[in-house]
Amino acid sequence: MIDIRRFPDAQNAAAAAADFIIARLHAKPDLVLGVATGATMVPVYRQLVAAHRAGRANFARMRCFSVDEYVGLPPANKASFRATMAAHFYDPIGIDPARCFVPDAMAADLLAATHNYEAAIVAVGGIDLLMLGIGTNGHIGFNEPPADLAGRTCLVDLTAETLAANAHQFDAGILPPKRAITMGVATMLDAREILLVATGAGKREAIARALLGPLDPACPASALQSHPHVVAILDAAAASGL
């Protein structure tokens, strides 16, 4: 059963998500945190940075693994997920970059890069807490429908819907890369705990399908129903279909 927690608005949901992460960090200072990007997560990282600056959280021993990365986008490009995480979270909290991992989507051998990322997660003992958002089509990470629910970290082609949703991250006239490396659904389900965050009416249908519908590759997030420790933090708009 997924633990569904509702909040009146996106600001309160972000604060609750940050408090949840901080509680896990206090319990395990060397927390291995899986991190997601996207507009939903920006307020969560803002709250975490504020907690760091207020002395409420020490992230120095934490290690982070990004859920995904665009293929062929240099890490220095501001739209890369490495750069996005650095701007919103890693740089403000002053964490050692060597403790922050991302799929090597610039590798000459992308298949080897997917295997190497899986191996890196295993090498640290697995992910303690995985943060996830959800796409309007029910994707988690870049696992687009219909997703392989038994899939590991892999190379994926992005749908037109996802490309359109992410176009705002790029300068005008620049098209997002059409491929990415993403943690697979099975990789995600290996995390000891999962925190799903969704806000806004645009996520209403996806959340209803993910949390109430059948286990269905057409809604990759529905696979979270098979995990024993998932907390879903939702604002009122995202939860309105439940």
Can you give the pLDDT at residue 21?
A: 98
Nearest to 221 by CA among 132, 99, 138: 138
Catalytic residue check, 227: no
List 77, 137, 143, 166, catalytic entry: 137
Catalytic member of 139, 143, 216, 235: 139
Catalytic residue among 69, 104, 128, 144: 144
pLDDT at 169 (0 to 100): 81
137 is catalytic: yes
Spans in the chain with pLDDT lower than 70: 173
Q: Which domains does the chain show, CATH number per domain?
A: 3-241 (3.40.50.1360)
Q: Residue 56 is encoded by which pair of tokens?
A: 């409420």
pTM, whole model, 2 decimals?
A: 0.96
Closest CA to 83 of 157, 17, 169, 164: 169
For the question of residue 139 being annotated catalytic, the response is yes
199: left (phi over 0), alpha (psi -120 to 50) or beta: beta
pLDDT at 22: 98
Active site residue 144: yes
pLDDT at res. 160: 84
